[in-house]
Amino acid sequence: MKRREYLKWMGSAAALGCIDSTAIRPSLGASPIENRPRAASADSCIFLWLGGGACQVDTFDPKRVSTGRLDPGSYYAAVDTAIPGVQLCEHLSRTAKLLDRCAVVRTLNHNVVDEHAAATNRVHTGRPPADSTVYPSIGSIVSHELGANGDGVPAYVVAGYPSASRGPGFLGAKHSYVYLTDTELGPAGLRRPTGLSSDRYLRRNAMVGKLRQEYAEKNTDDERIQDYVAASEAGSKLTGPNFMSVFDLKSESDALRQEYGSEFGQRCLLARRLVESGVRFVEVSFNLNFINGTGWDTHNEGQLQQHVLIDQLDQALAALLRDLEARKRLDRTLVVVATEFGRPPEFDGRGGRGHQGAAFSGLLAGGGLKLGKAIGVTDELGRKVESHPVSIPDFHATIHHALGIDPSEELYDGDRPIPITDRGQPIAELFS
């Protein structure tokens, strides 16, 4: 039976009283968009990724301070914020003063615990993996739905190392990302080789373009080849001076660059420049393990220097929010802080922490949302959700809805319909 025929049959059966019509909705996914709150005003997203699993009780959901290794609790004291009654870790003091521009989401949760790659994939794609399909990342979905917001720029950029979790899945190569690991030089694959003149470069591009087009015309039925051709043609357009000039951070004032701080901060400054140029979705990866030896995966001795990471996050995030606001872009730019899972309040044998997926934190800022609030409550030590759980599909639905994307819209893997989110619902308080 075709899907449309099945839905028609289900509707007829419900009308005749053969089935309980209230049972239909969960099996078909999210409610229609007209039942959702209005979308926000965002036209781009900066997605700050704390790779390794940032500890919620040491950052955005502080609890009572531990008295020692055998006493579970937060590692640091808490400070008040611009939201009455809401506190953050003392090393997030700059962000605390701007928290009325944010919403802290304290009840994110999923069922992945001990596998970083699986949890990273879950948070990027919004779903557990399947044998029958490769799901696209949230950045690739935004690329597919909105495209770039300007000529000669990509829709999706990753400031960090590539991975399958960030990829386009069944959406194809044209909705993949451009990535860079050197902030000032830009993407290595787009830099012109030293000694190659403009004329020679243009002749090379023209020759390659002709060969590429001829091959595509001989293989019109092969979708992979068509996707590759589209992606490579788009890549050729990015090598020009307009897009590459975005990576010239020295054109910003020294004072502003110093305000952003470390390498992660410079990536955040670049992200602001990228969205201004028309990039829709920028992921900024903060997984610089050499700072404390472990990055955000604070097992063992990694806990001892965790505050260095938190302080650098605080400096960069606060600078980004102030900069976007000063440039009148904060309402149009959704800033997201995300990580693959949290960490338990207990310490391991060498003073670090393990992994926890049952309750962890994220943050949303700007984007035209109704902000200045904390979403959800965890128990006294942040082990589990007590009220207002926010699933990863809900988190994705909130991001999509802020960007004007219907989170229940169906994409197609061949003939198979797949909703953009796995029945995720936007967090209603952020839109009403």
* Mean pLDDT on 103-117: 95
Using CA atoms, how far apart are residues 136 and 41, in angstroms rounded to an integer?
Answer: 24
pLDDT bin (cut points 50, 70, 90) of residue 5 is low
- The model's pLDDT over 42-74, given as tens digits with 9 standing for 90+, comes to 999 999 999 999 999 999 999 999 999 999 999
CATH of the domain at 406: 3.40.720.10
pLDDT averaged over the chain? 88
Tally of domains within the chain: 1
Q: Do 114 and 141 touch, CB atoms closer than 8 A?
A: no
Residue 91 structural domain: 30-191+239-430
Residue 120 lies in a domain: yes
Closest CA to 251 of 272, 280, 282, 237: 272
The CA-based dihedral angle spanning residues 41, 161, 321, 365, taken in that order and rounded to the nearest 10 degrees: 50
Indicate whether 223 belongs to any domain: no
**Average confidence (pLDDT) over 394-404:** 98
Q: Provide Rg for the chain, Cα atoms.
A: 23
Given a contact cutoff of 8 angstroms between Cβ atoms, the answer to whether 376 and 105 are in contact is yes
pLDDT in tens, 344-378: 999 998 899 999 999 999 999 999 999 999 999 99
Residue 414 has pLDDT above 60, yes or no: yes
Residue 202 lies in a domain: no
CA distance 108 to 378: 10
Residue 204 inside a domain? The answer is no
CA 342 – CA 354 distance, rounded (Å):
9
Residue 214 has pLDDT above 70, yes or no: yes
Signed CA dihedral, 356, 358, 360, 365: sign only: positive
Q: Quick one: three-class SS letters along the chain?
A: CCHHHHHHHHHHHHHCCCCCHHHHHHHHCCCCHHHCCCCCCCCEEEEEECCCCCCHHHCCCCCCECCECCECCECCCEEECCCCCCEEEHHHHHHHCCHHHEEEEEEEECCCCCCHHHHHHHHHHCCCCCCCCCCCCHHHHHHHHHCCCCCCCCCEEEECCCCHHHCCHHHCHHHCCEEECCCCCCCHHHCCCCCCCHHHHHHHHHHHHHHHHHHHHHCCCCHHHHHHHHHHHHHHHHCCHHHHHHHCHHHCCHHHHHHHCCHHHHHHHHHHHHHHHCCCEEEEECCCHHHCCCCCCCCHHHHHHHHHHHHHHHHHHHHHHHHHHHCCCHHHEEEEEECCCECCCCCCCCCCCCCECCCEEEEEEECCCCCCEEECEECCCCCCEEECCEEHHHHHHHHHHHCCCCCCCEEEECCEEEECCCCCCCCHHHCC
Pairwise pLDDT comparison (403 vs 210), residue with the higher score = 403
pLDDT in tens, 132-183: 999 999 999 999 999 999 888 999 999 998 899 999 999 998 899 999 988 8
Tell me the average pLDDT across 179-202: 70
Distance CA 430, CA 432 (A): 6
Q: What confidence score (pLDDT) does residue 58 get?
A: 98
* Average pLDDT, integer, range 274-302: 91
What's the pLDDT at 21?
35
> How many whole angstroms separate alpha carbon 280 and alpha carbon 45?
6
Q: Would you say residue 155 lies in a domain?
A: yes
Tell me if 163 is assigned to some domain.
yes
Residue 395 lies in a domain: yes
| Contact yes or no for 159/282 (Cβ under 8 A) | yes
Spatial distance between the Cα atoms of 427 and 397, rounded to a whole number of angstroms: 8
* Residue-level pLDDT at 32: 45
- Tell me the residue length of the chain: 432
Residue 9 lies in a domain: no
What would the pLDDT profile of 290-336 be if each residue is shown by its tens digit?
Answer: 787 889 999 998 999 999 999 999 999 999 999 999 999 999 999 99
Residue 240: what pLDDT?
60
Cβ count within 10 A of residue 117: 12
The mean pLDDT of 18-23, rounded to a whole number, is: 38
- pLDDT of amino acid 244: 84
